Amino acid sequence: MKAKTDPRHNSRKLALSSIFCWLFNDTETEACALLSKEHLDSEEIDQFLTDYIVGSVKEHLDDIDSIIEKAAPEWPIEKISKVDLVILRIAIAEIVFGNKTPVKVGIDEAVELAKEFGNDTSHKFVNGVLGTVVEDLGKSRGKNKSEVEIK
């Protein structure tokens, strides 16, 4: 588990809460971010990272969901746990559409969030789906899974 003082992990937790609020309560993202900050009471965060993740998920939501549907065809979007779904969306936004988070870091962070906020099997599900996403991404770029690095 990540240390409570890790600003980037705290930023992802804040993004998770903000996106969850926005997606499932039809509230403006700014209001959700403020509400999430109050409730999470995170010590130190990287506000730029939080804003980037929330904006990226919002901008690429349909594409991200298509990637999830392809990587987990036996799990329709509406059947995936809401927390797991938001964690997957965050990780895919960072890994596929971002240009700063290494693949291994994105997956590790997603697994840690799933352990912290999901159910007993969430981390395995998230890890499996993201493994498939990375494998598919590698195939589309002519690389194997271990060679995929998105900059």
Instruction: From residue 151, give the alpha-carbon distance in Å to each of 29, 40, 56, 123.
Output: 27, 30, 16, 25
Give 17-36 pLDDT, tens digit per residue: 888 887 777 656 566 555 55
Look at residue 67 and tell me whether its pLDDT is greater than 80: yes
- pTM for this prediction: 0.83
> If you write DSSP's letter for every residue of 12-63 in order, what string do you get?
HHHHHHHHHHHHHH---HHHHHHHHHHHH--SS--HHHHHHHHHHHHHHHHH
What does the block give as tokens for 83? 């927390």
User: Domain limits of the chain?
Assistant: 7-147
The CATH class that applies to domain 7-147 reads mainly alpha
Residue 1: CB atoms within 10 A of its CB come to 7
Give the per-residue pLDDT at 150: 42
Q: Which long-range CB contacts under 8 A does 73-82 form with residues at least 24 apart?
A: 81/118, 81/119, 81/122, 82/20, 82/23, 82/24
Give the per-residue pLDDT at 14: 85
